[in-house]
Homo-oligomer: A and B are copies of this chain.
Amino acid sequence: MANYALHDQEKSILLAIGLPVQYRRGHVIFSAGEAADRIYLLEKGQVKIYRLTEDGDRATVALRYPGELIGLAEVLYGGQRTCFAQAMANVDLVMFKCADFLELLLNQPELNLKISRILGFRLREAQDTIYELACRYVPGRLALLLLKLAARCGIHETDGIRLDLPLTHEEIACMVGSSRPTITATLNDFQKEGAITWQGKYIKILQTDRLKSWI
């Protein structure tokens, strides 16, 4: 099983000490500057982690999917949040106090090691992104994003893979370090080639190899 999400068994240990909460798409779960005293287990929906400059520039630095912990790094490191977490869809979460979580880790070596593995995986993902931003053009980065999303939240249908999360072009631009008009144009290029299509905010990948040829 995957190295990025918790098993049911691991989740059950956590669920015993947590409090369930629900939020709607767009809700900001935590903000930069706040104390990092809580940690969340995401049960349903997706959450984006982003940063802001003083002048309003925004970059999404990570996405979290069901089974993943949110706010992990800062709770371990201590101190303040450095980023924002926002619900990309309607989400179900379970909230824990930081202190309870850390105590649990000290008493559960296997869980502790799993947390290290998850962080290692996330670090690798982040380094992938750095490398893409440094070495690839926007169409390549966009194609890579869509393929990654397909792997993490794609629903296989007869004619392709439907991404099970709502996305605006503005949101996508923040994920690939581009501008909204460029994303609109590039998605339309992909569509003209028959690589993708969409209904509302939901993109469907029709031809994976066509998409890969843009990388």
Q: Mark A101-137, 1 if CB is under 8 A from B, else 0.
A: 0100111011011011101111110111111011100
By beta carbon, the residue of chain B nearest A177 is: B134
User: Contacts of A57 on B, CB cut-off 8 Å?
Assistant: 135
Q: Which single member of B49, B113, B127 contacts A83 (CB below 8 Å)? A: B127
A130 with B76: CB separation less than 8 A = no
Q: Mark A135-175, 1 if CB is under 8 A from B, else 0.
A: 10000000000000000000000000000000000000010
This protein's copies in its complex: 2
Interface residue A74 (Cβ < 8 Å from any Cβ of B): yes
Q: Which single member of B3, B73, B131 contacts A77 (CB below 8 Å)? A: B3
Q: Which interface class (under 10, 10 to 19, 20 to 34, 35 or more) fits A?
A: 35 or more
Q: Which single member of B110, B134, B174 contacts A133 (CB below 8 Å)? A: B134
User: Contacts of A77 on B, CB cut-off 8 Å?
Assistant: 3, 117, 120-121, 124
A95 to B73, CA, bound (A): 27
User: Contacts of A119 on B, CB cut-off 8 Å?
Assistant: 73, 116, 119-120, 123
Within 1-28 of A, Cβ neighbours of B (below 8 Å) are at 3
* Shortest beta-carbon distance from A182 to chain B in Å: 13
A74 with B120: CB separation less than 8 A = yes
Q: Which single member of B123, B124, B134 contacts A59 (CB below 8 Å)? A: B134
A51 with B133: CB separation less than 8 A = no
User: Contacts of A58 on B, CB cut-off 8 Å?
Assistant: 135
B62 with A127: CB separation less than 8 A = yes
A102 to B53, CA, bound (A): 39
User: Contacts of A206 on B, CB cut-off 8 Å?
Assistant: none
User: Contacts of A63 on B, CB cut-off 8 Å?
Assistant: none
User: Contacts of A90 on B, CB cut-off 8 Å?
Assistant: none
User: Contacts of A75 on B, CB cut-off 8 Å?
Assistant: 120
